[in-house]
Amino acid sequence: MKKSLIFSACVITGLGVVQFFSEQGARPSVAEQPSVNAAEIVFVGEKTLAPEAITALVETASEPDLAFAAFIQTLPASLAGQPAPESLTVNDQGELVVDGKIRFLFEHYLSALGEESLDNIVARIHHALQTQLAGANLDKALALMESYLQYRNYLGEVKNDFISANSGKGYELARVAQMKQLVQAERLRFFSEADSAALFLQDDQYDDYQMQRARVIADPRLTPEQQQTALLDIDEQAPDWIVASETQASLVARVRAEEKALVAQGADPETLYSTRVKAYGEDAAQRLALVDQENQQWQARVDGYQIELQSLLASGGGGSVDADLLQALRQAHFQGPELVRIAALDGDAEL
């Protein structure tokens, strides 16, 4: 069976998104999570690689030469302009420290999967490690890279088994919790206990926190008052970093509500900017203004694309468009991961 690597998967609870399989990026806060009807949940299968294929990719990573140097300098669109990962941590004894920085380095380059092949991504990671490390430290980092790739591939297999076993069944938190426990136990096949804790402890803490909240919210025996008390108890027992994160999320939710009300009242951009400055500070407000500008530019491109798409649909007669024409239209307006994003906006799963 032909296989290709999986690097993200998630399970959706009635509370929102709980990242049981996904091991990357910022986690959604409680305040930002939408309500989801369990009956509407659709689990999408993932493709995976044979473990020996991943080993071969790691072992045959490209060696530096002139062509390779040009390749390294030419980043995929989604990485171009992005800040490089932080320097890896080395202790006072000169030994590599396994922590979130090395995992972020892996994920930084893996995020471009789909824009370029996995072997190219592995070559980029290999080069990034080689520029910082040597000797035993480099050997350790390369071994960790292979373990990480094998583990992420395994997550795809777990997700596929979960979908197969639960096809047509109703959503149950108990089954998701069982799957999470399996993933945590099997993780030690790929990492030492120390490396596993260094890479995934916060993920596990956050997942446990969200699962506890989900159980309380899903319990029909609790009155609203009992539910609120139970949720407060969970917050009291949560690690400090989660409490701080949720406090920040509450601030974000409050400011968003204020901005929405101001827009409804016809407030000008300067008033909205002042609201953000008071809440977040000048630097953060400026960054948010840039994000707003990027979102506006994106929406303008989407609007132009959709006008042309509607013309194609109208000319097709039956309300459909030839797949090749649709692909050409999308590629005329978008590139790289934007193609996946616009396909999702159009409501189709694949290009």
Write out the two tokens for 287: 């960054």
- Tell me the residue length of the chain: 351
Q: For 28-73, what is the HEC assignment?
A: CCHHHCCCCCHHHCCCCCCCCCCHHHHHHHHHCCCCCCHHHHHHHH
Q: Write down the pTM of the prediction.
A: 0.61
pLDDT of residue 43: 41
pLDDT of residue 318: 59
DSSP per-residue string spanning 70-88 = HHHHS--TTTTTSPPPPPP
C-alpha triplet 236, 241, 246: angle, nearest 5°: 70
Q: How far is CA 313 from CA 100, 303, 322, in A?
A: 47, 15, 9
DSSP 320: -
The full set of domain ranges for the chain reads: 11-214, 270-346
pLDDT of residue 168: 65
Q: Using CA atoms in the order 244, 246, 251, 252, what is the torsion angle rounded to 10 degrees?
A: 120
Query: pLDDT tens digits for 149-171?
Result: 999 998 888 888 877 777 666 56
- What would you report as the CA-atom Rg of the chain, rounded to the nearest whole angstrom? 23
Listed as ranges, residues in the chain with pLDDT below 50 are 1-44, 349-351
Token pair 């920085």 is at which residue?
A: 101
Beta carbons within 10 angstroms of residue 164's beta carbon: 10
pLDDT of residue 108: 93
pLDDT of residue 295: 87
Q: For 96-119, what is the HEC assignment?
A: ECCCHHHHHHHHHHHCCECCECHH
pLDDT of residue 10: 36
Q: Which residues on adjacent β-strands are paired with residue 155?
A: none
The mean predicted confidence, pLDDT, of the chain is 80
The H or E element spanning position 16 is: strand 16-18
DSSP 78: T
Token pair 């490396």 is at which residue?
A: 195
